[in-house]
Amino acid sequence: MGFEHRDTTAFPKEPKTVREAAKTALREAVHQLEGEDPALALIFIGGDSMELSTGDLQHLLTEDSHTAVNFPILAFQCQTCMVRPSDRGLVTGQNIVAALAVPQ
């Protein structure tokens, strides 16, 4: 399993920031699979100071950088994310974007 997160506290609260953080976290999570094909990916977007619209989330998942992705990606928006991968400590925060890639 690959897991990566980005803290967006220091960046402007706008959809572009979230998109870039999600792309980076997803790319790193997939890279951690060390060549295994992902079965799916989960993206958790934490933040109570910015609410993404359905259109923003669709843009996040259909942007050009994801055209080569051939696995499902599920995105969840929450006020405070709490993610605990089995091999790492608890990641929690209101301004994090976390990606989890699950191998086949």
What is the sign, positive or negative, of the torsion defined by CA atoms of 16, 84, 100, 81? Answer: negative
What burial letters (b/e) apply to 59-93, b meaning 16+ CB within 10 Å?
A: ebbeeeeeeeeeeebebebeeebebebeeeeebeb
The third-level CATH classification (topology) of the domain covering 2-103 is 60s Ribosomal Protein L30; Chain: A; (3.30.1330)
Q: What is the pTM of this model?
A: 0.77
Mean pLDDT within 7-18: 79
- Average pLDDT in the chain: 78
The domain segmentation of the chain, as residue ranges, is 2-103
Residue 103 has pLDDT above 90, yes or no: yes
pLDDT one-digit tens code per residue, 63-75: 655 446 788 888 8
Distance CA 95, CA 80 (A): 8
CB 18 within 8 A of CB 97: yes
Mean pLDDT within 36-58: 79
